[in-house]
Amino acid sequence: MSEDKARGLMRSAWTKRRESFDASTGERQSALAEARAELTAAVGLLREDGSRVSYAQAVHLLANVELDLGREDRAMALWNEAIDVLRGTDDILQLAHKVRHLGDLHFRTGRLDEAEAQYEEALAIYREHDGPGSLDFANAVARVAALQEKLGDKGRALSLWRETRDLYAAVDLPAGVEDAEAHIRRLAGTGGS
């Protein structure tokens, strides 16, 4: 019963978070505070009486909200916790997803070596267990491509952006295809690829 209640709180909180994207500053902060409270309650319920995967998911959602609130250190601690929990489960794709998110935080805060380690781990998991046809896999390749571009490895970045373009095309995400093509054009120094 606790798990059902926690899932309801998680759904409600995630809806509030999504709605906060288009809200005014005051409304955004209020919605995020409500989402944070609901997710904190869900984490508490699942810590005591829930599956480890559900608990890790609640922690992951809370990390996103903490990041939205500008609490990068708290978000990092939460993602590390979720990852530690998931390493003890068979849900390898959830692990990859959380590892990629931790990589995103490292990338965002300029810790590129840490980002690279996280992205490469997530990508290796996706290549082995998920593969083409998955949006999560496409997103992971895109993150590694962006990092390699930032690190100045033009050749690897170009190859990864081409792969990203094809993966986004396979999952019918035109915006992703357009973004990848823009990176390809810039890296190739041409008007096309």
**Contacts for 93 with CB less than 8 Å, ≥ 6 apart:** 125, 126, 129, 130, 136
**Contact between residue 109 and residue 67 where contact means Cβ atoms under 8 Å apart:** no
- The domain spans of the chain are 1-89, 91-193
**Does position 178 have pLDDT exceeding 50, yes or no?**
yes
Q: Is-contact 52 85, C-beta < 8 A?
A: yes
Query: Per CATH, which fold does 1-89 belong to?
Result: Glutathione S-transferase Yfyf (Class Pi); Chain A, domain 2 (1.20.1050)
Phi, psi of 91 (to 5 degrees): -85, 75
Tokens of residue 94, six digits = 């959830």
Among 104, 30, 32, which residue's Cα sits nearest to residue 69? 32
- The overall average pLDDT reported for the chain is 94
Residue 22: enclosing H or E segment and its boundaries?
Answer: none
Fold adopted by 91-193: 1.25.40
Tens of pLDDT, residues 118-147: 999 999 999 999 767 789 999 999 999 999
* The pLDDT value given to residue 190: 62
Nearest partner of 166 among 147, 142, 130, judged by Cα:
142
Q: Above 60 in pLDDT, residue 192?
A: no
Give this prediction's pTM. Answer: 0.89
**For residue 193, what pLDDT is reported?**
45
Non-local (6+) Cβ contacts of 71 within 8 A are none
Fold match between domain 1-89 and domain 91-193: no
